[in-house]
Every structure is written in structure tokens, then in C-alpha cells.
């Protein structure tokens, strides 16, 4: 499955490089929904909520009411479901200083939970990718499986840089879990999308779509 991404900041659709620097602004949420209409699901990340500096709840509700959306940003599981999210992406809250936050995760609806396992320099990063946990994705996927229906795994080293992703990393992750796996971070070519599909890994696409590097028409034909 190909999953287009809508990242929200300051009431606008944006794309960042490695979660830090804003590279561009997209069209309005309504226009992005129109463009993404051929795709069965979209991914929405409220960056302000993820960084603890407010939220874009009205826009999340608008998007989720008009699409099948997996939504992340901040520790707001029930709130995001109430706003219409099909699934909630849980990141920072899934981890403690020493490992998996089992107490928190056990309270969630497993079938509606996707856990974000985002890695930089080989280690899982949290809090808007600003803090490293010291954990590796390969080591914790099995422990996380009882608490979710799938994983969103972002290769932060290449996020937004249009330099390609690390397919070998995703192969190792695919071997580590039988649950749904969605890849993000640096995916820039149709060959990479096809390679991920052969692994039975979904592709979440942002910068490559917004810059026109990947054509929505070509991607739609792949599905």
C-alpha cells in the first residue's frame, strides 16, 4: 500500500527535513485530500502536538472526517480517535528511559494502534526525533507486537533529504515481525516503492510527492 502523508504545523501542510527545518509548504488540506483521493489511506502527523507546542486539532478532525487516516502527534490516543482517526500512531509514549512502556501501551486498543519506531544513527529516537533512547528497532519489535496492529518505521537519517532510503534496514525489520510494517524516510524512487512492496512493506511518502519527484498518477497506477 502507498500512503501519502500530510504533516501539519502552524495550521499549514508542511514538509520538514529530518524533523527540524521546514523545506516547503503544501496546498490546503482540502486540496491535498483531493489529490490523495485515489489512495485508500493517508497518514497525518500533527507536528505541533508531537513537539509539545500546541495542536492542529481542527485540521485533524477535518481531514479524518473526509478520509481513512492514521493520525499521530502527542499523547492523545482517545482524543485522536474522537477526531475521527482510523488508527492512532503512538511514538514517544511507547517508550520509557529503559525500554518499552508496557503500562501505557496495555491501556490502548491494540487494533487501532500503530507504534512509531523511528531510528537515527541506528537508535530509536523520540520527542520529535530530538532524543535517542539507545534502543534498536530490531531488538524491540517483538516486544511491542502485543500492543499494536502494525509499525511505522522512519529512517530519520534520510528523512526529507530525497537521497533514497535504507532498504536493507527495512528488510531486517520485515524479518523481525509478522505485523503490518510501513516504511518512511527518504523514499524517493518508484524502484524503492516497488522493492518495499515486494517485501510486503507499505510506503509512506511525503517529500517525494510534494516536490513532484514521484508522480501521484504513477503511484496510483501501482495500487
Closest by CA position to 191, among listed 173, 220, 160, 167: 167
Residue 86, C-alpha cell as written in the block: 482510523
CB atoms within 10 A of CB 157: 17
The DSSP secondary structure of 17-80, one letter per residue, reads ETTTEEEEE---HHHHHHHTTTSS-EEEEEHHHHTTS---HHHHHHHHTTS-EEEESSS-HHHH
Which value, to the nearest 10 degrees, does the dihedral of the CA atoms of residues 157, 194, 202, 74 take? Answer: 30
Distance, in Å, from the CA atom of 141 to the CA atom of 200, rounded to the nearest integer, reads: 16
* Active-site residue flag, 118: yes
From the list 7, 46, 48, 121, the catalytic residue is 7
From the list 21, 48, 58, 118, the catalytic residue is 118
* Active-site residue flag, 7: yes
Instruction: Supply the residues annotated as catalytic.
Output: 7, 118
Amino acid at each position: 500500500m502507498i500512503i501519502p502523508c500530510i504533516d501539519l504545523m502552524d495550521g499549514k501542510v508542511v514538509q520538514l527535513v529530518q524533523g527540524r527545518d521546514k523545506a516547503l509548504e503544501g496546498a490546503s488540506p482540502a486540496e491535498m485530500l483531493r489529490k490523495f483521493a485515489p489512495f485508500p489511506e493517508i497518514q497525518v502527523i500533527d507536528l505541533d502536538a508531537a513537539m509539545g507546542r500546541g495542536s492542529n486539532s481542527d485540521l485533524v478532525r477535518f481531514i479524518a472526517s473526509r478520509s481513512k487516516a492514521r493520525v499521530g502527534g502527542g499523547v492523545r490516543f482517545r482524543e485522536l480517535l474522537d477526531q475521527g482517526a482510523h488508527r492512532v500512531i503512538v511514538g514517544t509514549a511507547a517508550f520509557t528511559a529503559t525500554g518499552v512502556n508496557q503500562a501505557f501501551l496495555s491501556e490502548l486498543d491494540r487494533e487501532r494502534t500503530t507504534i512509531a519506531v523511528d531510528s537515527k544513527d541506528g537508535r530509536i529516537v523520540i520527542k520529535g526525533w530530538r532524543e535517542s533512547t539507545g534502543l534498536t528497532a530490531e531488538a524491540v519489535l517483538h516486544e511491542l507486537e502485543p500492543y499494536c496492529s502494525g509499525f511505522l518505521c522512519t529512517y530519520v537519517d534520510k528523512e526529507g533529504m530525497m537521497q533514497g532510503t535504507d532498504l536493507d534496514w527495512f528488510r531486517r525489520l520485515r524479518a523481525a515481525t509478522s505485523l503490518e510494517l510501513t516504511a518512511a524516510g527518504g523514499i524517493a524512487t518508484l524502484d524503492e516503492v516497488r522493492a518495499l512492496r515486494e517485501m510486503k512493506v507499505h510506503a509512506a511518502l511525503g517529500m517525494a510527492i510534494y516536490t513532484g519527484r514521484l508522480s501521484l498518477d504513477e503511484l496510483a497506477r501501482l495500487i
